[in-house]
Structure 1
Amino acid sequence: MREDWTHEVARAARVIAAGGVVGYPTETVWGLAVRLDAVERLYALKGRDPDKPVQVSCADAETARPLTLGGAAFDALAGLWPGPVTLVLPAAPGCPPGVAPGGWVGVRVPDHPVALALLRECGGALATTSLNPSGAEAARTLSQARAYALADLLLPDGGVPASGTASTVVRVGAVGQGVEVLREGAVPASLIRERLEARGVGT
């Protein structure tokens, strides 16, 4: 992390701790982040359909694992982190219910230095979603993020721009229920299948 980010990341963590919303960069698109128990703020700000869950962004796979029931598929695909892959898995009993509607939770470890610094400063996990009003294009630059005016504070991108390509979303069912690529994004579905087949996990 560049030294001049330190103050801004620490400030953003204080905003989140107080129940605020922070806009932050990732390697895909810009995101909005709140505490895991403040997820309703994201729905209200974006005008988001309550049936569309948000995800949990994590500092590393070790932070993500206890939120889920894990399994061989998790182990196989977590090797793609940090990176643009979101895993949707059965939620562990202790997972905060606001981020696990219907018993499922989406988890990801972003591959961006500013995002990872924010997550580490905030204890490792935050409820996140793309930075845009519902139905609008996700912000790809700081200027677009600023124009949407959804966050209480915006972090700089630290010179690492977003690609604009969304993460690949993979739904991993319980044992015997298979794996489904819900959205093919920056990581090809073929690589997902290769990783799973190498671990003997059927799709």
Structure 2
Amino acid sequence: MNAQRPFSMFPGDAPPTWLAAVEAAAQVLRRGGVVAYPSETVWGLAALPDSESALDRLYALKGRAADKPVQLSCQNLEAAQRFAQPSAVLTALSSLWPGPLTVVTPALPSCPPRLAPGGQVGLRVPDHPVAQALLHLCGGVLATTSCNRSGEPPAATWQAAVASGLGDLTLPEGGQAAAGLASTVVVLPGGVVMREGAVTAAQIRALLGVEPDHG
């Protein structure tokens, strides 16, 4: 099994200064709200994945087409495995988690159809302490999308996330700024790179043992 980096709610001897804000955000989510949160890529919007009304609100705030799925951000590989069919390719790619990689993979039959249209679910494990703390308090999985209205650039800073007005609560960045570069999207079972972001296509090919296409 892929070894995942351990996560602690309390780095060092004291809780982070943003812990109270994360706890408040978790309460907002439990009430069906939407939270703007930082990641290592761009800022995101989160809602509870098992609440239809919360998902409806997430889609409405973003102006997202109903047939365009959101992804599941997961605390670790184990949380992601609750939704994905096991495969050697997924296991190989999970060595890049936590990190800026989204994997669209065949979903388990138990995965809610709204989160897996066409039987495919998008999964990511963010590498950001605030995002991880929020996931920790919310059962390890959140329905997420970038913090922007559809068709506009995603928020790359706390100021931009606040200015978007999309979150019922906007978390602090927790001392780690977003890089401003979206996650790479890989589609299984073939391992096709649909969007190249912070992880390069060359890295994906090397990890999967795929020869580069020289045309």
* TM superposition score category, shorter chain reference: over 0.9
Aligned to 1:131: 147
Q: How does 1:14-53 map to 2 (within 5 A)?
A: 14-37=27-50, 38-53=54-69
Amino acid at match of 1:21: V
Q: Kindly indicate whether the alpha-carbon contact (under 8 Å) linking 1:36 and 1:98 is maintained by their aligned counterparts in 2.
A: no
Which secondary structure state, in structure 2, belongs to the residue aligned with residue 39 of structure 1? Answer: helix
Gapped regions of structure 2 (runs ≥ 5) = 1-10, 211-215
1:97, 1:36 → 2: CA distance?
Answer: 11
Cα RMSD (Å):
1.2
Amino acid at match of 1:7: A
Q: Kindly indicate whether the alpha-carbon contact (under 8 Å) linking 1:34 and 1:127 is maintained by their aligned counterparts in 2.
A: yes
Q: How does 1:1-203 map to 2 (within 5 A)?
A: 1=11, 2-37=15-50, 38-173=54-189, 178-197=190-209
Gapped regions of structure 1 (runs ≥ 5) = 199-203
1:63, 1:167 → 2: CA distance?
Answer: 19
TM-fit CA distance, 1:3:
2.5
Give the count of matched residue pairs: 194
TM-score relative to the length of structure 1: 0.92
Q: Kindly indicate whether the alpha-carbon contact (under 8 Å) linking 1:39 and 1:98 is maintained by their aligned counterparts in 2.
A: no
TM-fit CA distance, 1:49:
1.6
Q: Kindly indicate whether the alpha-carbon contact (under 8 Å) linking 1:88 and 1:106 is maintained by their aligned counterparts in 2.
A: yes
2:209, 2:29 → 1: CA distance?
Answer: 40
The structure with the greater share of residues assigned to helix is: 1
Q: Deviations over 1:94-135 (max 9, x none)?
A: 112221111110000001000000001101000000000110
Identical-residue share of aligned pairs (%): 57
Amino acid at match of 1:92: L
Amino acid at match of 1:27: E
